[in-house]
Amino acid sequence: MTEQDQKQLGSTLWGIADTLRGAMNADDFRDYMLSFLFLRYLSDNYETAAEKELGSDYPALDVSDRRAPLAVWYAHNPDDTTEFEKQMRRKTHYVIQPAFLWSSIAEMARTQDGELLHTLQKGFDYIENESFASTFGGLFSEINLNSEKLGKGYTAQNAKLCIIIKAIADGLEKFSTDKDTLGDAYEYLIGQFAAGSGKKAGEFYTPQQMSSILSGIVTLDSQEPATGKRKQLESVFDFACGSGSLLLNVRHRMGVRGIGKIVGQEKNITTYNLARMNMLLHGVKDSEFEIYHGDTLTNEWDSLREMNPAKMPKFDAVVANPPFSYRWDPIDAMGEDMRFKNYGLAPKSAADFAFLLHGFHYLKQDGVMAIILPHGVLFRGGSEERIRTKLLKDGHIDTVIGLPANLFFSTGIPVCILVLKKCKKPDDVLFINAAEHFEKGKRQNQLLPEHIDKIIDTYQFRREEARYSMRVSMERIEKEAYNLNISRYISTAHAEVDIDLKKTQAELQMLAQRIDTARNTHNDFLKELGLPPLQ
């Protein structure tokens, strides 16, 4: 499928979503639609594998028989299904029984079967509890098929589900869908739903233009970026991963086999499930990623609390777009937390540095971290100033990138990207002021590919350019009291144009003469009309 067809599929599905959701808000409808798209993916993938496994025994498609071919095989081979499912678990890591396949569910929707809701619920329960390994438990836990948002009572809810699923099935039938296409459509829909979610969008989605900058930075060689992209990343970590789009962007840059392990953490249960679905939809095997549901700031993940340095997980790349200036309530004991004890605790009013220090703690010695934060981290005082100062004195802040305002769905404030390393070679900090390089949009500003490429290129080769980028020595930063406000180092003011006073005086005299001539001519006309002249 071409890129144009992929965009068309995403647009078609979004049109269906926008038409059908009715009184339901975008966040609620998002969860239903994306779950159904995911079921379609699982079913297609499973049926393709089943056809390969059964070979010539796989039933030919019979247009007069609306059942899925696999349902026909199950009906004719009841004694062989157990062994078949064992084999499928070994090869595809999961099983979906024929009644729960998307083709069966879609047929029930087409015929407005009164048992659709019951069957769909049984299917979700089966997939969660029997189909996958335990890692995938609770995948559909936030999908309430009995919600009054679908209608009051079973009959109304079932009817609404029939309409939604039939519309999605009809929309998908127009396209030849493979796993990559469905993954792209899923990502497109997440972006569209984020656009309609306002401030809530920040909880689950990082715009692709932001993801492209961060992934472009962390996939370059950490010590010698000018040498180009790394051949392999053993691991990449996003501790506030949302729907996983940022992690997938890193994977896209590195290639399918370029990352050993993708690791994410997400506090919101619904978004956590979206991230797991998103990974699978993009062809990431369950053995290639791990997404954990838990609070990053309290470090709920047991594997991250490992005290033995030899066993503690460390990552080649850390990327993050955590919630901006998030209010938190650190207890006194956190002052001794291994993540914060050398730097101090971020203030209750803004957990920005708490997030940063969490990710930085799990960065490898030769790794690179890129994090999106509000501009306040560059200059705010108090405990944040102490943390910033120590990071600078220890040589950990490599690059500061200022971005335009109004790039996010969730906020209009300008933001920055901090690039950190535990071992960096340059004894300076690179400042990039990209705040004036964007395309203005109706609802949001946009970074075009050339803007993104210029930021990455400037970072990679540590280029300096008037009013855009500068390498600033630590001596200069110390004189500025470790304030990283970009305007202190890069002036965006343009030189005043020299004015030729003699030439300007002559032009003004000529204009005055023209005015006098025009006034006299006008007064002559007024005199002929018997009207008083202009003064």
Listing DSSP states for 140-180 in one string gives: TTT--TT-TTS-SSHHHHHHHHHHHHHHHHHHHHTS---HH
Considering only CA atoms, which of 275, 233, 224 is closest in space to residue 254? 233
Q: How far apart are CA 353 and CA 325, in angstroms?
A: 9
Considering only CA atoms, which of 184, 154, 199, 217 is closest in space to residue 27? 199
pLDDT at 12: 76
> Please, are residues 275 and 243 in contact by the beta-carbon 8 Å criterion?
yes
Residue type present at position 37: L
**Hey, which residues does 288 pair with through a beta bridge?**
none
Considering only CA atoms, which of 483, 484, 454, 485 is closest in space to residue 468? 454
Dihedral of CA atoms 289, 293, 296, 302 in degrees, nearest 10, equals: -80
pTM for the complete prediction?
Answer: 0.85
pLDDT at 519: 84
Mean pLDDT of the chain, nearest integer? 88
pLDDT at 230: 96
What sign does the CA torsion over 401, 250, 140, 39 have? positive
Q: How far apart are CA 188 and CA 257, in angstroms?
A: 24
For residue 415, the tally of other CB atoms under 10 A from its CB is: 21
> Please, are residues 226 and 251 in contact by the beta-carbon 8 Å criterion?
no
* Residue position matching structure tokens 């007069």: 64
Distance from the first to the final alpha carbon of the chain:
75
Q: How far apart are CA 36 and CA 349, in angstroms?
A: 40
Q: How far apart are CA 513 and CA 525, in angstroms?
A: 19
Considering only CA atoms, which of 470, 183, 211 is closest in space to residue 317? 211
The packing angle between helices 116-126 and 102-110, to 10°, is: 170
Q: How far apart are CA 237 and CA 260, in angstroms?
A: 11
Q: How far apart are CA 199 and CA 410, in angstroms?
A: 4
For residue 375, the tally of other CB atoms under 10 A from its CB is: 20
3-state secondary structure of 261: strand
> Please, are residues 27 and 200 in contact by the beta-carbon 8 Å criterion?
yes
DSSP 345-412: PPPTT--HHHHHHHHHHTEEEEEEEEEEEEGGGGT--THHHHHHHHHHHTT-EEEEEE--SS-SSS--
pLDDT < 50: residue spans in the chain: 199, 201
3-state secondary structure of 132: coil
> Please, are residues 50 and 77 in contact by the beta-carbon 8 Å criterion?
no
Q: How far apart are CA 386 and CA 481, in angstroms?
A: 11
- Lookup: tokens for 481: 């009291």
- Lookup: tokens for 94: 């999961």
pLDDT at 525: 82
pLDDT at 204: 63
pLDDT at 201: 46
pLDDT at 196: 63
Alpha carbon 162 to its chain centroid, in Å, reads: 31
